[in-house]
Structure formats: structure tokens, C-alpha cells
């Protein structure tokens, strides 16, 4: 949108923001197709430890997120 309003060619725009033109074109194609440009990635570690984190957080509501994370 910004590139079009400025009347700037794609190659110059990509050079200004510091990404390869191929990456910009891929993101553009995904946006037009209605797909997310990135992710979602599987997070097996997060999913595995989440019940334990919730248990500690509920058992000790006075603890902050840093202390719960450290456990």
C-alpha cells in the first residue's frame, strides 16, 4: 500500500526496507491468497510444560511470571 501510494517500484522498495524482492513477492502472493505470511509452527516444548506452569501459577498467585518461568 505504501509502495503504491509513493509510486515506487518494487525493487526500490525492497532495497529500502532491506529484504530480498523474492521474499516480498512470496509474502505478497500469500496475502492475496488469504494465507498467513508466517507460521504457525509446532511448539512441542511449550505444549508439554504448559500444564506444570499453570499448576505453579495457580498454587502461588503472589509469584510473578519470572519466578514461575525460572521453576
pLDDT tens for 4-51 read: 888 889 899 999 999 999 999 998 899 899 887 777 778 888 888 889
Most distant CA atoms of the chain, gap in Å: 58
- Which string of b and e fits 48-69 if b means at least 16 CB within 10 Å? eeeeeeeeebeeeeeeeeeebe
Instruction: Give pLDDT, residue 68.
Output: 83
Residue 1 — very low, low, confident or very high, per pLDDT cuts 50/70/90?
A: low
Instruction: Give pLDDT, residue 33.
Output: 92
Is the pTM of the predicted complex or chain greater than 0.85? no
Higher-confidence residue of 71 and 9: namely 9
Share in percent of the chain as helix, strand, coil (round to 5):
70, 0, 30
Q: What is the separation of C-alpha 55 from the centre of its chain, rounded to a whole number of angstroms?
A: 27
Amino acid at each position: 500500500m505504501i509502495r503504491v501510494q509513493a509510486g515506487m517500484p518494487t525493487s526500490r522498495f525492497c532495497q529500502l526496507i532491506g529484504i530480498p524482492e523474492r521474499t516480498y513477492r512470496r509474502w505478497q502472493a500469500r496475502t492475496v491468497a488469504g494465507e498467513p505470511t508466517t507460521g504457525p509452527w509446532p511448539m512441542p516444548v511449550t505444549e508439554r510444560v504448559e500444564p506444570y506452569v499453570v499448576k505453579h501459577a495457580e498454587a502461588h498467585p503472589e509469584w510473578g511470571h519470572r519466578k514461575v518461568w525460572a521453576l
